[in-house]
Structure 1
């Protein structure tokens, strides 16, 4: 009898323990897969050779996970405990432990932490140092300098040496190939020589992730590859009847559109003006092409065009030549290429600045002259010179 009672009690205890264990496992799974405790984005840095134990303790200390033990157990269960990837990773607010395991074992470019960014602009270049504020989860600017000065601030020089620093090149729409090549020469986290300036228009304005010591020539090749793919796709999908014989001619038009307007919503309208002019046998008469003929794409013309420059016959003076200039005049972005190959359906053949940053479009010379008069009045009210001719195209 006594043994029967002992067996019964043991069975009861075993059931209770099994139920408790099942409950603990269920609770652990819920903790592992449920929303995490951090209400802000966090940057998690995985050091080279870091162990799962060290990372789990780090995450718990940061408040990204509620339990280092459950995090380790979950990573073991998913068979990812040995898959940690070196780098700095952005963890979204309330990310679950499972989400965090997926992020830090997937690898790829670092998505947070220190960023050193070369920004290549039309008028100036800059190198920017940013870092994530752990209290807000937002990136904040730490320092900035002009790379042409050659005087790299110590804080940026030190940041470039960090093994997990994220190095990026951001190229603005409308910069020339010469400007890009010169900018790449100015930063010391790239290596190698640039042999010659790439063809105008052949480089895609975009953001490029690089590693310390990346070859400048390889980066330019990647820019050319992206631009070629963008142009090829847009050319393949173009509508019937456009006045371009080759993709290169479309790229030339895209570069003109890019330089004529900074208003995204206007690109297709600006493209329609130049397409209509080509179809009607009118000259394009656009200042940016003349400017390119003067500068050769080497920098910005910080003055108005002179009458002698407007009167000179050059391959880029679209007041003097018929049709398109021989090459693009800058590197157009994806949207400008799309606009050149998908122009708006209008009968506009003129446009001029309207004082708001955009343009006033016209179908007839009479309408255009009225728009020009309004623009001259705006210039006069602003105290600007009014003797520079306002051209048909822009």
Structure 2
């Protein structure tokens, strides 16, 4: 009898040793595998996917038995997971129960109009649901992470919430020199600044010029405000027509003084900050300088001279005749 007990004990220990090797030893996968756990799926269901992908050693049934014997009782979490090559059964289970799902990214560049934000949302791989059209100026340009299966509306809400927090924080620190009388006006003017210069260092100066114009009741004469009603902020792809410069539609700042009817794009944090704390300047004009920046002028005579230099430079480059 004693001999039988010893034999059974040895057999049990041998079996446990073999099972532990299956559980804690490196897994069979030779490359990283992606595993998708759907909402509400149990470990029993997911184990079949793990076995089919070659992630776990042994059979689906043996993995479940080992998980029950050695693993946590926590449920697996919905999401998309990357399982590195050679991951042990123990670590596979821990990843699905307590790990972080794969994060994908959506980037909204500074100055992107809302119609293009909507298009970018609609094109997101593995996001779900329709892509809402956000109100112009309501989205903070930035990069936003999302998980497989996440609703596009939820991703957009993070971007609009970020804009709300940003404008609230910047508005509280606004300088007395800003011409914006509300947060909405600040975003509207910032959207023009965003479209007028791609040079970060110039934003406070461009904001200063437009602030001076607003302050004295002078028209802003901003080309991007003419284009917005035509394309909703997308590139025009041609020169502005005289009829478009003459159009009175609430946005055309060549027709009326003051701010347009609303934002013409989604401005970034730096442009909003520039509008709320513009550079101290007497300049009322600016024109491109040929280097990607602008040259500024206080008088119309100075501006005309700068414009003449800009046209001469463009002729030298063969851009105009």
TM-score, L = length of structure 1: 0.57
Aligned residues: 245
Partner SS, residue 296 of structure 2? strand
Which residue matches 1:219? 155
Q: CA offsets, 1:25-68, max 9 Å, x none?
A: xxxxxxxxxxxxxxxxxxxxxxxxx977649xx9xxxxxxxxxx
Work out which of the residue numbers 266, 270, 281 in structure 2 matches 1:335: 270
Indicate yes or no: 2:275 matched with 1:377: no
Distance (whole Å) between structure 1 residues aligned to residue 138 and residue 191 of structure 2: 10
**Deviations, residues 253-299 of structure 1 (Å, cap 9, x unaligned):** 110010000001101000000001111111111101111122123x3
Deviation at 1:236, TM superposition (A): 0.7
List alignment gaps of at least 5 residues for structure 2. 1-21, 31-70, 84-96
Q: SS of 2:204's equivalent?
A: helix
Correspondence list, 1:181-192, <5 A: 181-192=118-129
Q: State the shift of 1:108 in Å.
A: 4.8
Against the structure 1 CA distance between its residues 194 and 256, is the aligned structure 2 distance closer, same or farther, given a 3 Å change threshold?
Answer: same
Match of 2:59 in 1: none
- Counterpart secondary structure, 1:340: helix
> Does the CA contact (< 8 Å) of 2:286 and 2:303 recur in 1?
yes
Q: CA deviation at 1:312?
A: 1.9
Aligned-pair distance for 1:385? 2.8
Flag the 1:53–1:304 CA change in 2: closer, same or farther, 3 A. Answer: same
1:349 to 261, 271, 284: 284
Q: Is the 8 A contact 2:105 2:144 kept in 1?
A: yes
> Does the alignment pair 1:276 with 2:220?
no
Task: Give the CA deviation at 1:87.
Answer: 5.6
Q: Bigger relative contact order, structure 1 or 2, given CA contacts below 8 A and separation 6+? A: 2
Report the aligned-residue RMSD. Answer: 2.9
SS at 2:189 equivalent: helix
Partner of residue 193 from structure 1, selected from 130, 133, 140: 130
Aligned equivalents of 2:249 and 2:306: distance in 1?
29
The answer for the alignment partner of 1:358 in structure 2 is 293
Partner of 1:239 in structure 2? Answer: 175
CA-to-aligned-CA distance 1:184-239 (integer Å, 9 cap, x gap): 112341110134x2110101111111111110111111110001111111001101
List, as ranges, runs of 4+ consecutive aligned residues in structure 1 with deviation greater than 2 Å: 50-55, 85-89, 105-110
What's the CA shift for 1:169? 0.6
- Alpha-carbon distance between aligned partners in 2 of 1:302 and 1:228, rounded to the nearest angstrom: 32
Which residue of 164, 188, 211 corresponds with 1:252?
A: 188
Name the CA distance, whole Å, in 1 between partners of 2:217 and 2:141: 32
Q: What secondary structure does 2:106 align onto?
A: strand
Larger helix fraction of residues: 2
Cross-structure match for 2:58:
none
Which residue of 1 is the match for residue 113 of structure 2?
A: 176
Instruction: Give the Cα separation in 1 of the matches to 2:305 and 2:100.
Output: 57
- Which protein is richer in strand relative to its size? 1
> Which of 220, 223, 230 is residue 287 of structure 1 equivalent to?
223
The equivalent of 2:61 in structure 1 is none
TM-score normalised by L of structure 2: 0.69
